[in-house]
Structure 1
Amino acid sequence: MTTGTGPRRAPWFSSPDPSLDAEAQLFLFPHAGGTSLTYRMWAATVSSGIECRALQLPGRQERLDEPVFTRIEPLLAELQEALEAELDGRPYVVFGHSFGALLAYRLTVEIERNGGQGPELLGVSGWAPGLVASKELEGVADMTDQQILDRVAEFGLIPDEVPVSRDMLAAVMPSLRGDFVVAADYTEDGAAVSCPIAAYGGTSDPTLEPGALEAWAGLTPEFLGATEFPGDHFYLFEHALAVQNSLDRHLRRRLAARA
């Protein structure tokens, strides 16, 4: 707990326009090396009945002085505590892209295992269990910065706008490396969730083998299908509104069925 004299701890989740009038919350998880700014425009375009809260992991922006995580279990434990502190009884959705999809999925598994309030819907984008690209990152901890950039670039796992100047590279590499080390620390165990899953991807995503997103069907009692949009691994930047509308439709059907 933060004391009155100690340093103020930066929040894990932030919202540019928090609203208790919104009927549901949407927790957003960015890609490896990404920040909460990845979803900076979502609050302006998502349904007015949904409050967006974007994840900011340690080691970036206002949390730059906090050490990055390199193991998935401690990260998930902290994430669960942080997310549950944001809940106020309203239904919520978790959505993640790429590394964020891995975190959103495993966080949902942990919340349900521990008897917490699970999400109404899990949205996953650009990642699925069993991807070859994920297995190729197992040696990332021992790679140089340039080897990491070269390797992940082969799989389209960093957006074109990632800065490449020496100063900016020094700023982004610790979080990028840390996220990939966490991803490499993940061991698949086929854990299922009880909530519906909706999957999304780009038709030209080099990390997604044909039919890869269908793997989610075996991890939920209600698979809402895989929707693909034109684009590569970062198709989401161009098709955010369509994904938002899809999540909103799924959520409203879910809530209506319970009414």
Structure 2
Amino acid sequence: MPCPTGRWFATADPRPDAARRLFLFPHAGGSAASYLRWCALLPDVEVLVAQLPGRQERRAEEPYRRTGPLVEALRTALEAELDGRPYALFGHSLGALLAYRLAVDIERDGGEVPVLLGVSGWAPERVLPVEALLPLPDARFVTAVRRFGVLPAEVSEDPELLALVLPALRADLALVAGYRDDGARVGCPVAAYGGRADPTLERGRLSEWAARTPVFLGASAFPGGHFYLADHAIAIASDLARHLQRTEGDDSIAHRKRHDSRP
């Protein structure tokens, strides 16, 4: 069961003695529960998973439909969690968009920046054209998102679970539809991941992240579609841990704005 650390982030295994921390952001329609097993995949890292409004214990809350206000709320929650330990951001699909915008805004305002940004299943210049899906009635909407490949099979095949997920999924896709890329760069290293058969990304698009960072750690492609992550979480978590270990103590651009003098 998740252990609340606040309204916005949860962990299955609090680790106050871990040297590093990872803040993880789920896919569109996803919840913290889908990613809490990552705590076991990263034994030397404290993993905190974002729980957005409109799902699970926050189901009664209205989900966000615009990126700016959601990123602002997430940033307030994230900065309240920071304790001076090096931290990384990782997101899949919509979560990658949110993690990226958080890194951009924090650095732009001189905040305590992440040492690493991990992005999966999303590239900033290739936003999924979902505007036409949003007005569709539920049955046609579900058929369409299945075709796009942005609905996990275990959700689409379970009517009760599908009914619970649909409001959050619609809101999350509205976020994606309304997002406008501004070409912003981040100062921290970026590692990108994706599925070779992901219908939401053209082949090679993950390499476009190289233009958004001075330290591009490469794009790793795995067998599978948009939700390739379910089958390759161990490999991705291991790669993130390796990058985290290399960045800790580094005097690179990613560290220049860390508040070393904070109490």
The TM-score normalised by the length of structure 1 is 0.91
Q: Which moved more, 1:145-154 or 1:237-246?
A: 145-154
**1:147 Cα shift?**
2.9
- The answer for the alignment partner of 1:52 in structure 2 is 47
**1:74 Cα shift?**
0.7
- The answer for the alignment partner of 2:99 in structure 1 is 104
Q: Deviations over 1:143-197 (max 9, x none)?
A: 2222322222222111111145554333211100000001111101111111010
Q: Distance in 1 between matches of 2:162 and 2:231?
A: 25
Which residue, out of 147, 158, 161, partners 1:168?
161
Q: Counterpart of 1:173 in 2: which secondary structure?
A: helix
Q: Deviations over 1:181-221 (max 9, x none)?
A: 01111101111111010000111111121111011000001
- The answer for the alignment partner of 2:123 in structure 1 is 128
Q: Distance in 1 between matches of 2:40 and 2:162?
A: 30
Gaps of 5+ in 1: 1-8
Percent sequence identity is 52
- Aligned pair in 2 of structure 1 residues 17, 146: CA closer, same or farther (>3 Å)? same
- The answer for the alignment partner of 1:6 in structure 2 is none
- Aligned pair in 2 of structure 1 residues 151, 215: CA closer, same or farther (>3 Å)? same
Structure 1: which 4+ aligned runs deviate by more than 6 Å?
A: none
Which residue, out of 87, 93, 98, partners 2:88?
93
Q: Distance in 2 between matches of 1:42 and 1:165?
A: 24
Which residue, out of 207, 210, 234, partners 1:214?
207
- The answer for the alignment partner of 1:4 in structure 2 is none
- The answer for the alignment partner of 2:146 in structure 1 is 153
- The answer for the alignment partner of 1:34 in structure 2 is 30
Structure 1 contact 120–196 (Cα < 8 Å) conserved: yes
- The answer for the alignment partner of 2:256 in structure 1 is none
The TM-score normalised by the length of structure 2 is 0.90
Q: Distance in 1 between matches of 2:35 and 2:89?
A: 13
Structure 1 position 234 matched with structure 2 position 230: no
**1:128 Cα shift?**
0.6
Structure 2 contact 128–200 (Cα < 8 Å) conserved: no
Structure 1 position 11 matched with structure 2 position 7: yes
Q: Counterpart of 1:139 in 2: which secondary structure?
A: helix
Q: Counterpart of 2:153 in 1: which secondary structure?
A: coil
Q: Which moved more, 1:9-18 or 1:75-84?
A: 9-18
**1:101 Cα shift?**
0.6
- Give 1:97's aligned amino acid: H
Gaps of 5+ in 2: 253-263
